[in-house]
Amino acid sequence: MSLRFKPGLRVFVYPEYVDLRGGFDRLSMVVREKMGAKIVVGDFFVFLGKHRRKLKALCYDGTGLVLLNKRMERGRFMALEDLESAEISVEELDWLLRGSTIRRPAFGRLPESVTGIRSSIAVDAAR
């Protein structure tokens, strides 16, 4: 499935797991009260369920609220703990909806597990 979005769309993933039994009202309340955002701006808000098999997304298209609901038949959505940022690109949203894990390259350093060497910043901070 492929969705087309308007240019410049901002996509936000709520950083906590949500009870997805809620609909328009409960999710728009989370956007307003917990995320501090306005739903009518037109941004796209994504929510994951506790078991990571379900996802709901909410946005305002100019005429009303749109609620997208997806359940994975096999596999799970990525863990929120692995998400590096609450704001993701539309391309990353497409990856997320397909069940992929979003990974962003970290330039300038390799993980300690690869190099076996702790970074000088971590060493200085430990002193």
Let me know: does 38 contact 30? Beta carbons within 8 Å. Answer: no
pLDDT of residue 123: 46
3-class DSSP string for 42-67: CCEEEEECCCCCEEEEEEECCCCEEE
Q: How many angstroms separate the CA atoms of 88 and 94, rounded?
A: 10
Residues across the chain: 127
pLDDT of residue 36: 94
Let me know: does 10 contact 87? Beta carbons within 8 Å. Answer: yes
Low-confidence ranges of the chain (pLDDT < 70): 1-2, 104-127
DSSP one-letter code for 71: E
Sort strands 65-71 and 87-88 into parallel, antiparallel or unpaired: unpaired
pLDDT of residue 112: 59
Phi, psi of 12 (to 5 degrees): -125, 135
pLDDT of residue 56: 96
**Among the listed residues 55, 94, 47, the one whose alpha carbon sits nearest the alpha carbon of residue 76:** 55
pLDDT of residue 108: 58
